[in-house]
Structure 1
Amino acid sequence: MLKGFKDFLMRGNVIDLAVAVVVGAAFTAVVTAFTEAFLKPLIQLVSGGGELAGSFQVNGVTFDWASFVNAVITFVITAAVVYFLVVLPLKTIQERRQRGEESGPSESDEVVLLTEIRDLLREGRESEAAGRHAAGGAPE
């Protein structure tokens, strides 16, 4: 049971995913700190400044709309950076590979060998079926 778990963890894509999550969380923390330190005060100044700037009260309950706007801005900045630094470059590489301008990752020796075996088996079946058809034999 532990060996299977170890094998799962040692796969390259699991490690890459873990690194991506950690870096993403750290980046989100940086963007959040930026929006809290700079953008939220600007939102409060634009809304009139003072003690209740960026919020309003109804029956003693405070609605902090500046925090909501701040969270939306944080999301948009984070999404834009992920799109322009991760999604767009990977999409461009994928399109280049489809057009044949850039080679993809090289296949391992095992994959190449298995592909050759598959192709040979397929050719053998096709030639066997063609031989039976030419001899007038009934299909099995």
Structure 2
Amino acid sequence: MLNEFKEFIARGNVMDMAVGIIIGAAFTAIVTSLVDDLLNPIIGLVTGGTDFSGLYLVLSGNVPEGASLAAAREAGASVFAYGAFLSAVINFLIVAWVVFMLVKAVNRVKEAANRNPVEEAPAPAGPTQEELLAQIRDELRAQRA
């Protein structure tokens, strides 16, 4: 079993997957920073500073009026945290949009790299059909004479 595990780990696709996971984690940190530090403040500015993550409904338990979501949870109340869900959906849509734009940019770069930048000169045009027929006619006349 140990030998099979070594064989499995030594395969190229496992190493590719590991590299992909590491790059994905680094990419996640960059995208999270983009969303949290750049896009969410702009969205907050547009929506009047509304922070959806603090919106909730108390299902059961005693929570002081105007308490934060963290305070409500700390008090042991059962809360329906719809604001945190809305924030997660908004963050997901932003991350999905950023990833879409990055993939689109990478595909555009790949497309440009695959195009042949040096235009090959067109092959010299051969004789037309009429010219070929005239040559054949002339050769047949020459053979008869």
Query: Do 1:44 and 1:66's aligned partners in 2 also have CA atoms closer than 8 Å?
Result: no
Determine which structure has more spread, i.e. the larger CA radius of gyration.
2
Is residue 85 from structure 1 mapped to residue 106 from structure 2 by the alignment? yes
CA shift at 1:20, angstroms?
Answer: 0.8
Note the C-alpha offset of 1:71.
2.4
Once the two structures are superposed, residues 101-122 of structure 1 have per-residue CA deviations (whole angstroms, 9 ceiling, x without a partner) of: xxxxxxxxxxxxxxxxxxxxxx
1:75 is displaced (CA, Å) by 2.0
Do structure 1's residue 25 and structure 2's residue 25 form an aligned pair?
yes
Question: Structure 1 residues 19, 57: CA separation in 2 closer, same or farther (over 3 Å shift)?
Answer: closer
The alpha carbon displacement at 1:63 in A equals 3.9
- In structure 2, the CA distance between the partners of 1:16 and 1:83, relative to structure 1 (3 Å rule), is farther
CA separation of 1:25 and 1:79: change in aligned 2, threshold 3 A = farther
Amino acid at match of 1:6: K
TM-score by length of 2: 0.49
State, as a whole percentage, how many aligned pairs show the same letter.
33
Give the Cα–Cα distance (whole angstroms) in 2 for the partners of residues 86 and 16 of structure 1.
20
Residue of structure 1 in register with 2:14 after alignment = 14
* Range moving further from structure 2, 59-68 or 11-20: 59-68
Task: Show the counterpart of 1:38.
Answer: 38
1:57-114 per-position Cα deviation (integer Å, ceiling 9, x unaligned): 5656664344532321112212432454379839x86xx9xxxxxxxxxxxxxxxxxx
- TM-score between the two structures when normalised by the length of structure 1: 0.50
- CA-CA distance at 1:35 after TM superposition: 0.6
Partner residue, 2:3? 3
- 1:73 partnered with 2:117: no
Tell which has more relative contact order, 1 or 2 (C-alpha 8 A, sep 6+): 2
Distance 1:14 1:89, change over 3 A: farther
Higher helix residue share = 1
What is the aligned length?
90
| CA distance in structure 2 between the aligned counterparts of 1:5 and 1:59, rounded to whole angstroms | 50
Amino acid at match of 2:29: A
Unaligned runs of 5+ in 1: 97-140
CA contact (8 A) 1:35 1:73 kept: yes
Q: Structure 2, unaligned stretches of length 5 or more?
A: 59-79, 117-145
Report the 3-state secondary structure (helix = DSSP H, G, I; strand = E; otherwise coil) of the residue aligned with 1:48. Answer: coil
